[in-house]
Amino acid sequence: MRKKIVAGNWKMNTTLQEGVALAKEVNEALAGATPKCDVIIAVPFTHLASINAVIDQNKLGLGAENCADHKSGAYTGEVSAPMVASTGATYVILGHSERRQYYGETSEILKEKVNLALANNLTPIFCIGEVLEERENGSYLEVVKKQIEDALFDLSADDFSKLILAYEPVWAIGTGKTATDDQAEEMHAFIREVIANKYGKDVAENTSILYGGSCKPSNAPQLFAKPNVDGGLIGGASLKAADFMGIVNAF
């Protein structure tokens, strides 16, 4: 059966010291708990090694928020998948809408990143989602289908099975405007069908599909109650341990 997962995406927040303190707080909250889901934090590159040293990865998974589309070499300022793996991290967010929107990440680039992540034993948390205009003009299902097909459908079934997907409607990210549970369920069920048509029902049923976009302790229980919503990718609310744990405990 597919895993239930709550993952935090800290984005470009916290200094190293603040980040280590926050990770310790989440780690401590989990130490005495038996959550009904896997818990992951994705943090800035600069924080990875230090946070790895203070958390128990049996209880709290660690990931990066991005990695380069090249393995090594003259790419000033980039951080490669092998570098991320060498910190002890085991997850990497790829294709976040902020990367697509502000840094020009295309499906072609994302294909490379996914391949490099998998080659370095990192589990990609691959993000897809439509913008408001696409929601409003009714093309949102097709848009998300194309994002999945273009970046991921060259993978073997075996490799595809290693992915976690995150549906993040761009209009819901950081806006306080959450997709309704029915809107999330419609999309998640559709994504599962798209996967089933390509890789078969077993792969589709075993793929965790997370919802992201203004998810908080108050709306998480309703969203997570939907049969095809397997958890959340949490931005703002992952920056306070109590709020993040409130979402973890929504399961």
Catalytic residue IDs: 96, 168
Name which of 144 and 199 has its Cβ closer to ligand 13P: 144
Q: How far is the CB of 129 from ligand 13P (least distance, A)?
A: 9
Please choose, out of 192-200, 219-227, 229-237, 242-250, the segment that lies near ligand 13P by the rule CB under 6 A: 229-237
Instruction: Give yes or no for residue 229 binding ligand 13P (CB under 6 A).
Output: no
If one asks whether residue 92 binds ligand 13P (CB under 6 A), the answer comes out as no
Q: Is 173 in the site for ligand 13P (CB under 6 A)?
A: yes
Residue with the shortest CB distance to ligand 13P: 235
Is residue 219 within the footprint of ligand 13P (CB under 6 A)?
Answer: no
> Cα(first)–Cα(last) distance of the chain, in Å?
16
Query: CB under 6 A: which stretch of 70-78, 131-139, 192-200, 234-242 binds ligand 13P?
Result: 234-242
CB closer to ligand 13P, 26 vs 199:
26
Over the window 9 to 28, marking each residue x when it contacts ligand 13P by CB under 6 A and - when it does not, the resulting string is x-------------------
Minimum Å distance from CB 127 to ligand 13P? 7
CB of 93 to ligand 13P, least distance (A): 7
**How far apart are CB 186 and ligand 13P at their closest, in Å?**
19
The answer to whether residues 222 and 176 touch, using CB atoms and an 8 Å cutoff, is no
Within 13 Å and on the Cβ side, how many CA atoms surround 2? 23
Near ligand 13P by CB under 6 A, which window of 50-58, 200-208, 223-231, 233-241?
Answer: 233-241
* Token pair in block for residue 17: 């010291």
Residue 85 near residue 119, CB atoms below 8 Å: no
- C-beta separation of 21 from 54 below 8 A: no
Stretch that binds ligand 13P, among 107-115, 186-194, 196-204, 209-217 (CB under 6 A): 209-217
130 touches ligand 13P by CB under 6 A: no
Residues 27-86, interacting with ligand 13P (CB under 6 A): none
- Residue 40 Cβ, how far from ligand 13P at the closest point, in Å? 12
Comparing CA positions, the residue from 153, 135, 68, 57 lying closest to residue 103 is: 68
Residues that bind ligand 13P in the complex, under the rule CB under 6 A: 9, 96, 168, 173-174, 212-215, 233-237
